[in-house]
Amino acid sequence: MQRNNNFKIIRIPIPSPTLLPFTATNSYLIGNDQESVLVDAGYDQQETKIELEQAIKEYSLATPKSIILTHSHPDHAPGVRQLMDWSPTVYCHQLEKQATLTAISPWNTVSFLTDGDIFKVADEEITIIHAPGHSPGQLNLYIPSQQILIAGDNIVAEGTSWIGPPDGDMSDYLQTLQRLKELTVSKIGPGHGEWVLHPYEQIDFVINRRLEREGQIKSLLKEHQPLSTTRLTEMIYPENIHPSIFEVAKRTTEAHLIKLINDGFVAQQDSNYYLKS
């Protein structure tokens, strides 16, 4: 059924100190001039409010009365602090209650959304998906009438999302990606970067990249075990990489190792890992 209620989904990249190559985090405004919701509030800085209110005016949207946070990370949630005069209801998944309250303090109330909830805005329905992987309480939003998926940090426009402990879980992540593939999606609104116009290719690219890395870790262990996380990461990235990037890469290796242990392929002794025979 086609409704002409000026329903819009607008992506607003807001500058943030996030993982390169990205320099902005996406917020999304969803709704019309009667009612709207904000997805992700960006980084805690004045610019966040200025950019959002500019977009609200430009696209003739109502000021959001609700903010849905895909997750609690510093480039997605703390911007709520800048938006207090909207008196919004802030939503997150229960699993990220504490982290969210810390991220948006002194704002001290959150409401919860969970898998299968239907969130209504401007007479349109948004299906809430609990999509753990990048973080335990990651919320994704699916708008069936537009075939649009707002994927938080489960999908970024270029390359792969960062998955690492303590927040990230590789097993959850791969399961989530399989589940997202079952939706009918014409484009994905990622946590960072442009709209993704080839959703299934992008999801498959990410799944394949993660499975390749898993295979690479198994064969490195087979040849050189036992290996520490640091040594494995050095072998995966043989070129000299910047120390700050190396730490991030190391935690990705760790996320893979945790999955391989849970899957029964790898065992850990002290700080070393080896393949189970």
Binding site for Zn ion (CB under 5 A): 73, 153
Closest residue to Zn ion in the complex (CB): 73
Q: How far is the CB of 92 from Zn ion (least distance, A)?
A: 13
DSSP state of 36: E
Q: How far is the CB of 272 from Zn ion (least distance, A)?
A: 30
CB of 153 or CB of 172, closer to Zn ion: 153
CB of 35 or CB of 153, closer to Zn ion: 153
CB of 35 or CB of 254, closer to Zn ion: 254
Distance CA 113, CA 88 (A): 15
Rounded to the nearest 5 degrees, what angle is found at the Cα of 230, between the Cα atoms of 225 and 235? 65
Cα 111 to Cα 1, 98, 101, 141, distances in angstroms: 31, 12, 11, 16
Q: How far is the CB of 29 from Zn ion (least distance, A)?
A: 20
CB of 36 or CB of 70, closer to Zn ion: 70
Distance CA 132, CA 146 (A): 23
Q: How far is the CB of 212 from Zn ion (least distance, A)?
A: 23
Q: How far is the CB of 71 from Zn ion (least distance, A)?
A: 6
CB of 88 or CB of 191, closer to Zn ion: 191
Token pair of 173 as six digits = 């992540």
- List, in sequence order, the alpha helices (H) in 182-267: 199-224, 229-236, 243-262
Q: Please list, in sequence order, all residues whose beta carbon lies within 8 angstroms of the beta carbon of residue 210, skipping any fewer than 6 positions away.
A: 160, 163, 170, 173, 174, 256
